[in-house]
């Protein structure tokens, strides 16, 4: 019984650390390629004092990046602006985004794959920079945000 409590305590501490690192959304995102049916492959560089925590947050950071930061590519055609053009919307609709980015939350529906075992790890001073390739369904994510009233539909005009 004590071993089980100790394990659950360690797991809870790890989850808490993951969430603290994620709340700051410290990452870089770059374009890799466009796949079919609105899917985009990006490389997300997450930062943390533990490399395993940074790699675990790659999915969440990738979806956040597509929504709020956009990404750059080798050419202007490969670069994409963020889905949300007003950065204040993240704090205005904080209740929506807290639930959306909750562990195993709705954001998981838009991350269709993550290439396991392919994380690139770099040690920078006292923390790790971990790069993971992730596929995000940008079109379905946009549709969800439109339905939630976060972004205007493409057919709504100017």
C-alpha span between 107 and 23 (Å, rounded): 15
**pLDDT for position 74:** 80
**pLDDT for position 39:** 92
Greater pLDDT, 68 or 72: 68
Nearest to 114 by CA among 60, 50, 73: 60
- Domain tally for the chain? 1
Proportion of the chain above pLDDT 70, given as a percent? 78
Can you say whether the dihedral through the CA atoms of 124, 127, 133, 139 is positive or negative? negative
Give me the mean pLDDT over the 98-125 stretch: 86
**pLDDT for position 6:** 47
Q: Is residue 156 part of a domain?
A: no
Nearest to 42 by CA among 32, 51, 54: 32
In the numeric block, the tokens 């925590």 are attached to 53
C-alpha span between 57 and 22 (Å, rounded): 7
Supply the mean pLDDT for the chain: 83
Q: Is residue 9 part of a domain?
A: yes
- Give the pTM: 0.81
Task: Tell me the pLDDT band of 97, cut-offs 50, 70 and 90.
Answer: very high
Tell me which residue range forms the domain holding 18.
2-151
The residue count of the chain comes to 158
Q: Is residue 76 part of a domain?
A: yes
Task: Tell me the pLDDT band of 3, cut-offs 50, 70 and 90.
Answer: very low
Which 3 state secondary structure label does DSSP give 83?
coil
Q: Is residue 157 part of a domain?
A: no
C-alpha span between 116 and 7 (Å, rounded): 24
C-alpha span between 131 and 133 (Å, rounded): 7
Nearest to 132 by CA among 123, 119, 149, 116: 119
**pLDDT for position 5:** 45
C-alpha span between 74 and 139 (Å, rounded): 21
pLDDT tens-digit map of 15-60: 565 556 555 789 999 999 988 788 999 999 999 988 888 888 989 9
């Amino acid at each position: 019984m004590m071993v089980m409590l100790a394990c659950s305590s360690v797991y809870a501490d790890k989850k808490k650390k993951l969430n603290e690192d994620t709340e700051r959304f410290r990452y870089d995102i770059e374009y890799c390629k466009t796949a079919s049916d609105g899917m985009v492959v990006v490389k997300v560089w997450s930062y943390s004092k533990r490399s395993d925590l940074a790699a675990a947050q790659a999915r969440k950071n990738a979806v956040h990046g597509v929504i709020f930061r956009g990404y750059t590519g080798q050419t202007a055609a490969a670069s994409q602006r963020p889905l949300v053009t007003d950065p204040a919307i993240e704090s205005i609709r904080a209740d929506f985004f807290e639930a959306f980015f909750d562990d195993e939350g709705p954001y998981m529906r838009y991350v269709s794959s993550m290439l396991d075992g392919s994380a690139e790890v770099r040690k920078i001073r006292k923390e790790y920079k971990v790069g993971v390739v992730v596929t995000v369904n940008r079109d379905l994510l946009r549709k969800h945000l439109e339905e939630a009233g976060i972004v205007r539909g493409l057919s709504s005009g100017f």
